[in-house]
Structure 1
Amino acid sequence: MKIKTIIARGISFLVVFCTANALAQNPIIRNQYTADPSARVFNDRIYLFPSHDIPPYTNKNKENWFSMEDYHVFSSDNLTDWTDHGMIVTQNKVPWVKPDSFSMWAPDCIARNGKYYFYFPSTPKDTTIARGFTIGVAIADKPEGPYKVQPDPIKGVKGIDPNVFIDKDGQAYLYWSQGNIYGAKLKENMTELASEPVKFDNLPEKGLKEGPYLFERNGTYYLTYPHVENKIERLEYAMGNNPLGPFKVTGVIMDEAANGCWTNHHSVIQFKKQWYLFYHNNDLSPSFDKNRSVRIDSLTFNGDGTIKKVIPTLRGVGNTPAKAKIQADRYTSLSTAGASVAFLDAADAFKGWKTILSAPKAFVSYDGVDFGTKKLKKVLVQANAPTGGAIEIRIDRIDGPLLAKVKVASGTEWKMAEAALLKYVPGTHSIYIISTQGTPVEIDWITFE
């Protein structure tokens, strides 16, 4: 881990650079704010290209708005262990971008002919190019970079939220939004339009539409987009038989966020025969929804090709090895009485969360724990119990096989409690952590050895 203090315009920021985040739970990136995730599969590995929210610069009228100055790229081969490859593009090194605009919004990336093309919107410093936003391209030999920024934005494009799609016949398309959603063909060089932009009609006229993301499945083209039907965005989709439409509005992929996060923005990929929805929420910044964090959940289809609505989870996707730190606060289920989740440190959300069990039989469950095939002998629990406490750990159901009984000594400091396993069951299971004494027990994580 590297820690660096950055001073800009008299404001100091402590930035933590982590080489990896071993997290299968939501949100998947915990060392910085991330939003607008564009996920791609390159060479059997997932590469994630999100935008990068930062704390706002109050002296630039950003105190209540989005502040974004650069992009990072992350990758994983298992949806569980994510590597931060570092910053790939920053506003101060893009020739056409206004360097103090902090408007490096939602990007995308695509591979073609051994090159990787990274598309990003921003505010041009030359207003004769465009008022508002336009879209530029950076090119690399590897998905993690380094990227070489093209000197000029794409001619004929005004707007935000670029998305690129390459059809089976090799034709590439660019999609973007500016009040409405537009699409056009791209030339082979991937940096110029090959056709006039098409405005997609028959989409909802009421409310903001943005963030187009197009994918194809079984010959059907899905145009997906965030839309403000009421007060905040939900994810919707339309279906068609051609990359440039027409599209028929079909349904909702994900409802409005229960916590009121105003935006959502997404991508959809298939990886190892499973489809996934990448999206964002403001988990790490509950009081300011302009600092957001990327999530993943599974996506499935009905027999007629329509999309089943995705219910957002904290648990996320992927299995967690029993020998890893299992963050029970990213739970699958939580008892309705006596169980809750809170930040470990209200002043520093990046430290994560804790689970609080404060009543007899209060529980938290967490599925997808892989116990492997080699016998494990004990469980370790990072816990805090001011007056002492006790928990049981069971598998598969709340009254399932008992793995361990753990006593937590009294005290006001976090401590490691451990107990021998009473039973070992190989394979992948849900675990249940249950309060047995009723006195409050706080749990940071558990692991098995």
Structure 2
Amino acid sequence: MSGLVLLLGGAAQAQNPFITNQFTADPTARVFNGRVYVYPSHDILATPERGKVGWFCMEDYHVFSSANLTDWTDHGVIVTQNQVPWVKPDSYSMWAPDCIARNGKYYFYFPTTPRDTTINKGFTVGVAVADKPAGPFVPQPQPIKGVRGIDPNVLIDKDGQAYLYWSQGNIYAAKLKPNMLELASEPVTLGELPTKGLKEGPFVFERQGIYYLTYPHVENKTERLEYATSTSPLGPFTVKGVIMDESPTGCWTNHHSMLPFNNQWYLFYHHNDLSPAFDKSRSVRLDSLFFEPDGAIRKVVPTLRGVGLTDARQKIQLDRYSRLSSRGAAIAFLDPANPFQGWKTVLADNQGWVQYNGVAFGKQAPKTVMLRVQAATGATVQLRTDGATGPLLAQVTVPKGSQWQEVKAPVAAFKPGTHALVVSAKTSTPVEIDWVKFE
């Protein structure tokens, strides 16, 4: 099974998507007290009694955190639509949020449909406040006056002034009062952006004196991530380029955030990995981000492997591969009816191989390797490090059988450190692999 089985308060390992026990989207990532917290929206499937069938459906928010971007903890629900005084309790429109820290408090901004449409027709933005990054959060009794739209994002500038950004056809911005709950200026339209196609989801940050306004934009049929820069938080901005191209599988939306952590920048975004036939059920992802010397953002190519190292003594999910042979290998759901169970790697014959980078073997040699495998007529699998001609770690004989089984084999060679793991089939019969783990 790929990804993680997250229990409330528990931790597990993951690649991309890095949350696999529920649908998540619109991830805003922040560093609080040396730990990364991700505040996504939470997609659920609509029914005739719950939301609008065939459309986005979200009723609450979770928060997740990690100290290493590999092991994630689900801290549970922090805000629910029917527990916010001003929210229409059956709106199912708790869309993309943000969270920011100031003066020992944590301010969680979220958009949704108000109960009283005389306050605001359409979406507006509210705030919930907590003493800790994971809550408990207490919603304010009313939304922010003067804000109509979705996708709130907050920047606290170097001089201490806070700004709120949001979208509703255009992208808007205004200063916030020191209490972080009210506008301190009239909203302005950031009008230097493309006029063709939907723009939404602003995320603004400052780096080396440059203010980056990043946003999803529908240039053609689906959203791609773009950015513009300025010398001021309110612009004027100059459009610079594309951060991430449109989804190759046609996922209509993308929504993102960026942050530096341990001297590396990262891009958080979403895709519909766990729901390839329905792009309103999305899953959050994470990849490294790089800047050119002139401050330009290098385009990010999405990966399944994601970031971070994988401990060789944990389950290595080969289906989140770094490389896959063009012949004889494929990835499939373990159970198409339950995508949260994750994926498997299918090696059809001796042309099939899969490579998984960044496996941390440490200094002490493992004695055995265990594979969760299935091969109807039996098979032989080889494991190597650092390429198809690298040292042979182990050769595993998979007994024939129609059920999943855990098979062990001795480790024949060992090189300490971090390596790429290559798993290949050595027989012409198909073999399916769920995970690999060294012991």
Q: Same fold (TM over 0.5)?
A: yes
1:85-141 Cα distance to aligned partner (Å, 9 max, x none)? 000000001111100000000000000000000000000111111111000000000
Q: Aligned residue for 1:381?
A: 371
The letter for the 2-side match of 1:210 is: E
Q: TM-score, normalised by structure 1?
A: 0.96
Matches within 5 A, 1:141-220: 141-220=131-210
Is this contact kept in 2: 1:21–1:29, CA < 8 A?
Answer: no
The letter for the 2-side match of 1:112 is: R
Is this contact kept in 1: 2:6–2:12, CA < 8 A?
Answer: no
Matches within 5 A, 1:330-369: 330-369=320-359
Shift of 1:375: 1.6
Separation in 1 of the partners of 2:8 and 2:177?
38
- 1:324 and 2:314 correspond: yes
- 1:119 and 2:119 correspond: no
Q: Aligned residue for 2:271?
A: 281
Distance 1:268 1:380, change over 3 A: same
Separation in 2 of the partners of 1:58 and 1:259?
28
Q: Aligned residue for 1:222?
A: 212
Is this contact kept in 2: 1:21–1:30, CA < 8 A?
Answer: no
In the alignment, which of 97, 109, 112 is matched to residue 87 of structure 2? 97
Is this contact kept in 2: 1:327–1:444, CA < 8 A?
Answer: yes
1:144-180 Cα distance to aligned partner (Å, 9 max, x none)? 0000100000000000000001011111000000100
The letter for the 1-side match of 2:381 is: I
The letter for the 1-side match of 2:125 is: I
SS in 2 for 1:242: coil
Shift of 1:59: 3.6
Shift of 1:24: 3.4
- 1:315 and 2:305 correspond: yes
1:176-230 Cα distance to aligned partner (Å, 9 max, x none)? 0010000111000000001111100110000000000001111101000000000
Matches within 5 A, 1:231-270: 231-270=221-260
The letter for the 1-side match of 2:369 is: V
Shift of 1:21: 4.5
1:381-433 Cα distance to aligned partner (Å, 9 max, x none)? 00000000011101111111111101100000000111111111110000000
Instruction: Identify which range, 373-382 or 291-300, moves more after superposition.
Output: 373-382
SS in 2 for 1:58: coil
The letter for the 2-side match of 1:239 is: T
Separation in 2 of the partners of 1:279 and 1:392?
35
In the alignment, which of 404, 407, 414 is matched to residue 417 of structure 1? 407
Is this contact kept in 2: 1:377–1:424, CA < 8 A?
Answer: no
In the alignment, which of 264, 287, 292 is matched to residue 297 of structure 1? 287
1:341-399 Cα distance to aligned partner (Å, 9 max, x none)? 00000110000000000121310000000001112111100000000001110111111
Shift of 1:23: 2.5
Separation in 2 of the partners of 1:416 and 1:60?
41
Q: Aligned residue for 1:71?
A: 61
Is this contact kept in 1: 2:6–2:74, CA < 8 A?
Answer: no
Separation in 1 of the partners of 2:126 and 2:381?
55
The letter for the 2-side match of 1:147 is: F
Count residues with an aligned counterpart. Answer: 435
The letter for the 2-side match of 1:100 is: D
Which runs of 5 or more residues in structure 2 are unaligned? none
Q: Aligned residue for 2:429?
A: 439
Distance 1:16 1:75, change over 3 A: closer
Separation in 1 of the partners of 2:326 and 2:292?
32
Shift of 1:27: 0.4
Is this contact kept in 2: 1:24–1:319, CA < 8 A?
Answer: no
Shift of 1:58: 2.5
Is this contact kept in 1: 2:356–2:421, CA < 8 A?
Answer: yes
The letter for the 2-side match of 1:81 is: D
The letter for the 2-side match of 1:142 is: K
Is this contact kept in 2: 1:23–1:29, CA < 8 A?
Answer: no
Shift of 1:61: 5.8
Separation in 1 of the partners of 2:396 and 2:149?
57
Is this contact kept in 2: 1:24–1:315, CA < 8 A?
Answer: no
Separation in 1 of the partners of 2:10 and 2:285?
16
Separation in 1 of the partners of 2:250 and 2:41?
20
In the alignment, which of 343, 357, 370 is matched to residue 360 of structure 2? 370
The letter for the 2-side match of 1:293 is: S
Separation in 2 of the partners of 1:191 and 1:287?
40
Q: TM-score, normalised by structure 2?
A: 0.98
1:67-89 Cα distance to aligned partner (Å, 9 max, x none)? 00000000000001100000000
Separation in 2 of the partners of 1:220 and 1:20?
39
Separation in 2 of the partners of 1:181 and 1:139?
25
Is this contact kept in 2: 1:321–1:371, CA < 8 A?
Answer: yes
Separation in 1 of the partners of 2:384 and 2:234?
53
SS in 2 for 1:337: coil
Is this contact kept in 2: 1:47–1:76, CA < 8 A?
Answer: yes
